[in-house]
Structure 1
């Protein structure tokens, strides 16, 4: 199974969650919310070949942590993966929209200067702004829209420019799931949990949520679960192969 957006460091016991991930054989992208969190979070992936740690600066924290952009740039050489980054236009964050846009632009520029990265991107209530920023910096790498909740027209625009999407159980069970999933290219979709913020009701890693996500996606695609999981596995392999052109292969173990 595949979890392309998980906040491993924010579990009550990250080490226990990492052990559960290992036991289940799940491939996980462990995202971080601040550059300062990256070094310690990366330790949980040590010796675990299925966990990759992403370097992030969450848009909801940008107004407080924009001083860490320099640290982000310095740490970028340690991983081929970036996330969670982006723009948030929600009620609590919209007043910092200008700062968010500036920081997101700087992070994309840093990724481009580093040769490109695989990027897990937040776009809640700001999908238009995020798409515009990525279009202005196309050499930043491979954008993967995490839990896309914008208009279907924006999903189509993102798909047309080559973006990928990670989808989780709440998204797949929403009323608009059928219309949204119908837009997303099947060969550019991966599953996610966004745990521990979503997909889990306890302290343990939500392995079951991933199997339920595969089942929900299978229904929406009109496939059986085995074929759906094969499609997702093929997608992950393609992403890793495609990442080579962004020169992240040297960091694949990070």
Structure 2
């Protein structure tokens, strides 16, 4: 199983959650919300060969943590994964919009200078500005749009720009999310939990809950679950081969 977007450091017991991921032999991309959280989060997975830790600066706290951009740049040589980064156009974040755009632009510039990174990107209510920024940072690396919720026109643009996508049980629980997932190219889709933020029935999702996303993708694609698992494994192999170690 593959969880390409989980916040391992934010579970109530991060060490136990990480240990269970190892026991289940999951591939997990453990994202961070601030560069200063990267070192401690990476330490959780120091003995886990299938867990990678991404360096992030979440758009929702870009205003408060913009001073950590220098630290993010310093850490880039230590990981080929960057996230969670991006833009959030929610009304309550309107006052931080200019800072968000500047921070995201700077991170894309840093990724380009570092030779490209695999990026997991937040684009809630901001799909078009995110795609505009990615179009201007064509050498920044491979963009994986996590929990994409833009319009179908924006989705088509993302596909045309070569973006990848990660989908999870919470996204696929709704008809709209399933409709979006059905249009995504199967060879550019990965699964995610977005736990512990994402929930179903009031329960935070764990990385192993991506099994439910596999089941839903099997229904959407009209194939067996084992075929979904094979496709996802092939996708991950191809994505990770795009950016050198």
Q: Same fold (TM over 0.5)?
A: yes
Residue 63 of structure 2: aligned partner: 63
Cα distance between partner residues in 2 of 1:204 and 1:144: 20
Paired residues, what number? Answer: 244
Structure 1 residues 61-85: Cα deviation after superposition (integer angstroms, max 9, x where no partner): 0011101111111111110000000
Cα distance between partner residues in 2 of 1:241 and 1:66: 31
Cα distance between partner residues in 1 of 2:207 and 2:191: 13
Residue 28 of structure 2: aligned partner: 28
Q: Which has the higher contact order (CA 8 A, sep 6+)?
A: 1
Residue 206 of structure 2: aligned partner: 205
Pick closer, same or farther for the CA change 1:100–1:75 going to 2, 3 Å: same
Residue 104 of structure 2: aligned partner: 104
Secondary structure of 1:119's partner? strand
Alignment of 1:105-184 (within 5 A): 105-184=105-184
Secondary structure of 1:48's partner? coil
TM-score normalised to structure 2 length: 0.96
The answer on 1:16 being equivalent to 2:25 is: no
Secondary structure of 1:56's partner? coil
Alignment of 1:209-220 (within 5 A): 209-220=209-220
CA contact (8 A) 1:152 1:179 kept: no
Structure 1 residues 131-181: Cα deviation after superposition (integer angstroms, max 9, x where no partner): 000000100000000100111111110111111000001111212134312
**Poorly superposed stretches of 4+, deviation over 3 Å:** 199-206
Structure 1 residues 164-201: Cα deviation after superposition (integer angstroms, max 9, x where no partner): 00000111121213431232110000000000111465
TM-score normalised to structure 1 length: 0.93
Residue 252 of structure 1: aligned partner: none
Secondary structure of 1:3's partner? strand
* Structure 1 residue 95 displacement after superposition: 1.8
The answer on 1:191 being equivalent to 2:191 is: yes
Cα distance between partner residues in 1 of 2:104 and 2:169: 27
